Amino acid sequence: MAQKPTHDDVIRLLGPLSDQAVADILKVDASYSDLEAVALRLAQEDDVLGEMRRPLTGSAAQVYDIVKSVEEYGDERDRRG
């Protein structure tokens, strides 16, 4: 069985998130592969294919939603800059 991602894994893959945002992501119980898929999606936000990409599903979609809400709302769960 694959090891679950750690706090450091989340930060390394998704960037500097608040402790609360990382805790929320870890609660989703996403795999390391899910985190990699989210990181790839975030890196390719300006992809020319746009809507032709396959949508994220399951845990990866939940993690993506957490990261995007942190970016959008800029509250105490905001990315550190």
DSSP 4: P
- In this prediction, residue 71 carries a pLDDT of 81
Does residue 81 lie in a domain region? no
Using alpha carbons, select from 26, 30, 32 the residue that is nearest to residue 59: 30
Phi/psi for 55 (5° steps) reads -70, 150
pTM of the predicted protein model: 0.78
How many other CB atoms are there within 10 angstroms of residue 50's CB atom? 9
- For the chain, how many structural domains are there in total? 1
Any domain includes 1:
no
Instruction: Report the pLDDT value the prediction gives residue 19, as an integer from 0 to 100.
Output: 94
Is 78 a member of any domain?
no
| pLDDT tens across the length of the chain (81 residues) | 568 999 999 999 999 999 999 999 999 999 999 999 999 998 886 555 555 567 899 999 999 999 999 987 765 444 444
Contacts for 30 with CB less than 8 Å, ≥ 6 apart: 5, 38, 59, 60, 62, 63
Can you give the residue range of the structural domain that contains 32? Answer: 7-73
Q: For residue 27, tell me if it sits in a domain.
A: yes
Q: Pull the structure tokens for residue 50.
A: 């746009």
Q: Which residue has the tokens 């990261």?
A: 67
